[in-house]
Structure 1
Amino acid sequence: MCRHIAWAADRPVALGDLLVAPAHGLYRQSWAPRRQRYGTVNADGFGVGWYADGDPVPARYRRAGPVWADPSFADLARVVRSRSALAAVRDATLPGADGEAAAAPFAAGTWLFSHNGAVGGWPASVAALAAALPPADLLSLEARNDSALVWALALHRLRRGEAPGDALAGTVREVAAAAPGSRLNLLLTDGAGVAATAWGDSLWYLAGPGRPTVVASEPYDDDPGWREVPDRTLLTATADGVTTSPLAPLTAPAGPARSTEPAEPYEESPA
């Protein structure tokens, strides 16, 4: 469907160091992903959002076409540096006319968001969820696709005061209950930390002293420090480390107590 990546670091990192320079970075994943389970080429748009020091509102650069066809992207990524960023390349589930507006990251205030996956039975399956949103939220949708609606549902929870991880978990549970078989790998950052879900597709992270904490659809290199996140897991990350917890379906009993994975040493998070 798509590939996406976000990171949190204690010092600014050039976008290109994590998106373009690695042998299997997001740039290359747009045409040659190694672990993509659905779709083959991510040529239906791309985007990157990042935070400048001292400014909590992120900037975005998005385009409707493939990232490899944009001659400006490599130069932009070479000189722009940020402690936190989110980027994505898109393989559209269904054809549409929204173009750039349908490309992640979606944004509101201090937030950046991406959805890797698809909502089963779109759009009828989630019509009731959409109807429960405030009318202004529906009228403000950037695009007419499933990812934009999933973002509206998550943003509604954030605006109600839910913590980032709780907002993503609640959104995944309600969409999965309404639309069984959906793939809902969500990625969210506010410039300080990253929250993500693994639900139906691949998710990995890389963390350790002296390096950014990276959360991505797939590893961008063969560093042995990469760890795969089990399916149906909620992950939160900062520059200091990663926390994971089981993400049970809406109708299932609560899972075991939350577990914490520090940035060092590299050990598997419990399933």
Structure 2
Amino acid sequence: MCRHLAYLGPDVPLRRILVEPPHSLYRQSWAPRRQRNGTVNADGFGVGWYAPDDPVPARYRQARPIWADPSFADLARVVRTGALLAAVRDTTDGSTPDESATAPYGAGDWLFSHNGAVPGWPRSVAELAEELPAEELLDIEARCDSALLWALVLHRLRSGYALGDALAETVTDVAARTEARLNLLLTDGSCIAATAWGDSLWHRLEPGHGVTVASEPYDDEPGWTEVPDRTLLLATRDGIETTPLKEPTV
């Protein structure tokens, strides 16, 4: 399992969102409060953020625990952004151990993360992998279930799917083949799409202060709302929309 978070709002230092809150993603790497599977997320971390006048986000990823990287402390103190996606990782068995398997994954202006696991991977979803063009299979960044999910989502995005549709169809296809936990998180810097499928997901919209979508609340302040399981969420700086996900046809 993992914990992840996406934010859209006024420009703030990375530290304001990821480190300073009392139950921040930084703390969730060793003391998550609502994680249903696994106990710590110390197998790596990553953050992707958008800069003004550049639609392609930057990414910083490491295979070490977030608390063990002194460079991140400096980065989080000085880098400001109005849009980010970040994650702390608990490795799935059989996955690549280096930072190539650490979210966020990225292509163009998209950032992606997966909180969950695909049992029986890769055999359980081999049929879906076979549907990808050969060049896209060869371009998969790492050997892990999350990287394959990203390839499936990315294929749909490049085919013209909207963010939410790309996540929803991927979840339905995978869930029809295995009892997976599929909390997916995707952003293009102006919209956040997320799925709740097997683990916790929360959101908070504060007018004038932005929107946050996260595996769990990073503080105990009011405004956090839990997303029902098997739900697709779409969020912008101005509003949030949720839709039940279709049950897979087995």
TM-score, normalised to structure 2, is 0.98
* Alignment check: 8 A CA contact 1:98 1:143 kept: no
Alpha-carbon distance, 1:98 to partner: 4.0
Matched, 1:186 2:184: yes
Counterpart CA distance in 2 for 1:89 and 1:140 is 23
Cross-structure match for 2:215: 217
**Greater Cα shift, 87-96 or 51-60:** 87-96
* Alignment check: 8 A CA contact 2:91 2:97 kept: no
Cross-structure match for 2:228: 230
Cross-structure match for 2:205: 207
Moved over 2 A (4+): 95-98
Partner SS for 2:173: helix
Counterpart CA distance in 2 for 1:96 and 1:50 is 25
Cross-structure match for 1:6: 6
* Alignment check: 8 A CA contact 2:94 2:144 kept: no
* Alignment check: 8 A CA contact 1:165 1:236 kept: yes
* Alignment check: 8 A CA contact 1:62 1:103 kept: yes
TM-score, normalised to structure 1, is 0.91
Alpha-carbon distance, 1:122 to partner: 1.0
Counterpart CA distance in 2 for 1:40 and 1:63 is 20
Any unmatched runs of 5+ in structure 1? 253-271
Cross-structure match for 2:134: 135
Counterpart CA distance in 1 for 2:87 and 2:21 is 15
Cross-structure match for 2:19: 20
Partner SS for 1:157: helix
- The one-letter code sitting in structure 2 at the alignment partner of 1:161 is G
**Greater Cα shift, 229-238 or 88-97:** 88-97
Cross-structure match for 1:99: 98
Counterpart CA distance in 2 for 1:134 and 1:245 is 30
* Alignment check: 8 A CA contact 1:117 1:184 kept: yes
Counterpart CA distance in 1 for 2:94 and 2:127 is 23
Number of equivalent positions:
250
Alpha-carbon distance, 1:7 to partner: 1.0
Any unmatched runs of 5+ in structure 2? none
Cross-structure match for 2:243: 245
After superposition, the C-alpha distances for 1:137-179 in whole angstroms (9 at most, x for unaligned) are 1101110000000000000000000000000000000000011
Equivalent positions of 1:157-176 (< 5 A) are 157-176=156-175
- The one-letter code sitting in structure 1 at the alignment partner of 2:151 is A
> Cα RMSD between the aligned structures?
1.0
Counterpart CA distance in 2 for 1:109 and 1:28 is 30
* Alignment check: 8 A CA contact 2:95 2:145 kept: no
Alpha-carbon distance, 1:251 to partner: 2.4
Alpha-carbon distance, 1:208 to partner: 1.9
Counterpart CA distance in 1 for 2:4 and 2:11 is 19
